[in-house]
Structure 1
Amino acid sequence: MWIGISGYVVASTIGFARVINNKHWVTDVVAGAGIGILSTKISYFAFERLKLKRANNKKVVAFVSPYYNTKSKGLRFKMLF
């Protein structure tokens, strides 16, 4: 519990400092926090699904990787059942 709370405190402090030093706008910091929280929720959801699949003795493989090229950037997610 304390690890999670300390993580939020550190992230909030850094976000606040970035806004105060005119390195980011408030909307940038809020959007970054939203992306971080959402990705954590998705990771925990996917992990629970994978754990349930493993309980049924089925092999499940998941892979997430970032990509970047001149026209686009993002994340790839691949899951084999």
Structure 2
Amino acid sequence: MFVCSCFGVTEEQVRGHAAAGACTPRQIASACKAGTDCGGCVRRIQALLGRGSCPRRQLADQGGQPLAAELPEAA
């Protein structure tokens, strides 16, 4: 299904860019131009990215510190 009609970007492409590390609509736009013309797809891109789907965003939400559950256990 197309997310961005202006540039012919699909949901699968957005998910692929997200899996490669694009965590924000701006980073998706840098990767494939989606959201840079009419802007009608930006909310859909935001929904596809979802809150917390990016490890870097999770660290930012936590103030840059990993959760105790994410720390490796001392041996």
Greater strand percent: which structure? 1
For normalisation by structure 2, the TM-score amounts to 0.28
For normalisation by structure 1, the TM-score amounts to 0.27
Higher relative CO (CA 8 A, sep ≥ 6), structure 1 or 2? 2
